[in-house]
Amino acid sequence: MPTTPTARRNGTGLTPVARTGRVGTTTARNRAYARSLGWEAHLPAVRRALTRHRRDWDWAALGTETLKWQTAHGVSPADGIVGPATWALLRTAAGVARDPAIAYQLPEHGLGVRATGRPAYRFGRPETARALLAVGAAWHRAHPQGPVLDIRDIGRNGGGPLPGHVSHRLGLDVDIRPVKADRRPGPTTWRHPSYSRALTQELVDLLRSNGVLPVHAIFFNDPEVRGVRPLKNHDDHLHVRFAPPPPSPPAASAAARRSSGPVLEVPGGTTPRKGRGELRDQPPPARGVVAVLPAERFGVLSAQGKAPYRFTDEDVEWTARFVIGESGGRDDADSHAVIWAMFNRYALLTRPYYRTFNAFLRAYSTPLQPVLKSWGASRRNMDRPDFVRTGGTFGPPAPPGIPRGQRRAYLDLQKRPWAQLPAAARSVAVRALGGAIPNPVGNATEFGSTYVYFHDANRRYPNPDEWRRFTEQYAAGMGWQWIGPVAGLNQNKNTFFVQRRLASLPVPAVRVLAG
């Protein structure tokens, strides 16, 4: 875009434009976000992600190309502004940062589908995988004798540019071959005699009605197929672009967190172990893939006066990771107890702040946090050889110099696919969220290791009498009640507490009803 002779370049490499009307407002907001969100430092990558064709860049052009990109990818609102929601996607598309949510590898074989693309290119978001497997299951019901749907490329682990593709950067784009009339696998084009327009139309209809994730667009060049758009080089495959899933609601405010207790701190933990064995009635998934399970297998979380919540397969997967990090991943009373404390906390206290149970677990559980929220947990782990510093230090009230970061073992746990989680952790997660594990902790919503807290304060571990006195004093100071000894439960590892304001509720106040 031509600029006036008096226009001056600034440090961003973008030419300032007059702030008039909507263009001026968009420019002003983009300039502010460029600094506050930090994408100013990544402008060349941002431009390449927005378009490969433009050469004349100024702030107005940036707004124009951002609007086009938002519209093309189903980002809402489409306003031309690289704000927090757009930057969260655009930085992954630009290759600036990996997205840990794009870590679900589609199985090579599933009901009604097979994945024939490169294994390294089969990664997408969990919602994408569930949508594809839901379509595959519906296809299998309609065509039990075949053919199976032939799924090609999706994206890379963590997202970002995919060789050979302009898109496929956000874990939301999927290439699927059109269906052949002879029902045999393999490539075809819409112009070839082997192509079936009727079966391909049926596939398009199933994709658009999958019920898991809305379809933003399907690109395919057969002009007789409804629900698709033409695009160059799309004679031999359907390019399905799902809309981005809605973000989870923001976490509770600091005041709300203080009123409902501290973030859970469980030091130490166990490095995840590899395990084998599959869930009941499930064919063994390929190594390194997520097993996406039908939601009707799982139960409903219910509390008096609260809306019920139905667990999902993603809740089950993150619960398995949770028990690995919090209690070693064993199928025992300790694992049952920490899961039930989280059921209670989510149902009674924090559900207004988290749309899903797994989002709550990932925010509150120390092993599932990408960066530790608690300076106490960070101080406890900062000298471990696998502690990964992410930049910066904690401010007051933390002592000076405590770095922000997370243990590599926990970061690896967060990325570990379902099929590589220990069989015991998977089993306990499925049974707990299916309503098959009794509640051993009543209405407890808090837990932490007072055994370790005593050590932090005294530089030695307590004897049993010291531990009990310390635990009762700790609970009183927090406004909680210790649940007392529970047969079979080792509360040196995790000690369980009930908030006083919940003490008058019937026990148990929360139930998991079989689905």
pLDDT for the residue 184:
81
- On the question of a cis peptide bond just before residue 352, with omega within 30 degrees of 0, the verdict is no
Q: Is 193 helix (H, G, I), strand (E, B) or coil?
A: coil
Q: Please state whether the predicted TM-score (pTM) of the whole model is above 0.85.
A: no
Cβ-based neighbour number of residue 341 at 10 Å: 26
Band (pLDDT 50/70/90 cuts) for residue 504 is confident
- Does residue 249 have a pLDDT over 80? no
pLDDT for the residue 453:
87
In the chain, the percentage of residues whose pLDDT exceeds 90 is 45
- Does residue 264 have a pLDDT over 70? no
Band (pLDDT 50/70/90 cuts) for residue 268 is very low
Name the phi and psi angles at 274, rounded to 5.
-75, 145
* Count of domains forming the chain: 3
In-domain check, residue 305: yes
In-domain check, residue 2: no
Residue 199: half-sphere exposure toward Cβ, Cα within 13 Å: 21
Which amino acid is located at 361 in the chain? L
Determine the average pLDDT of the residues in 242-249: 74
Q: What is the dihedral of CA 42, 45, 49, 54, to 10 degrees?
A: 110
Both 267 and 392 in one domain: the answer is yes
Both 384 and 325 in one domain: the answer is yes
pLDDT in tens, 51-77: 988 888 898 999 899 999 998 998 888
Domain ranges, residue 66: 21-93
Residue pointed to by tokens 């961003």 = 12
Both 365 and 395 in one domain: the answer is yes
In-domain check, residue 384: yes
What is the rounded CA–CA span in Å between residue 493 and residue 430? 23
Enumerate residues 6+ apart whose C-beta is below 8 A from 129. Answer: 104, 106, 290, 292
pLDDT in tens, 219-228: 999 999 999 9
In-domain check, residue 126: yes
- Final residue of a domain: which of 29, 60, 93? 93
Which amino acid is located at 513 in the chain? L
pLDDT for the residue 154:
95
What is the rounded CA–CA span in Å between residue 319 and residue 373? 20
- Does residue 282 have a pLDDT over 50? no
Do residues 183 and 139 lie in contact, with contact meaning Cβ atoms separated by under 8 Å? no
Determine the average pLDDT of the residues in 376-382: 91
Nearest Cα neighbor of 263 from 340, 176, 368 is 368
Cα torsion 210, 213, 216, 217: sign? negative
For the chain, the first-to-last Cα distance in angstroms comes to: 60
pLDDT in tens, 115-157: 998 899 999 998 898 899 889 889 988 888 888 999 999 999 9
Which residues lie across from 447 on neighbouring strands?
Answer: 496
pLDDT for the residue 448:
86
Both 349 and 495 in one domain: the answer is yes
Band (pLDDT 50/70/90 cuts) for residue 188 is very high
497 vs 305, higher pLDDT:
497
Determine the average pLDDT of the residues in 426-444: 91
Q: Is 191 helix (H, G, I), strand (E, B) or coil?
A: coil
Mean pLDDT of the chain: 83
Enumerate residues 6+ apart whose C-beta is below 8 A from 493. Answer: 327, 334, 449, 451
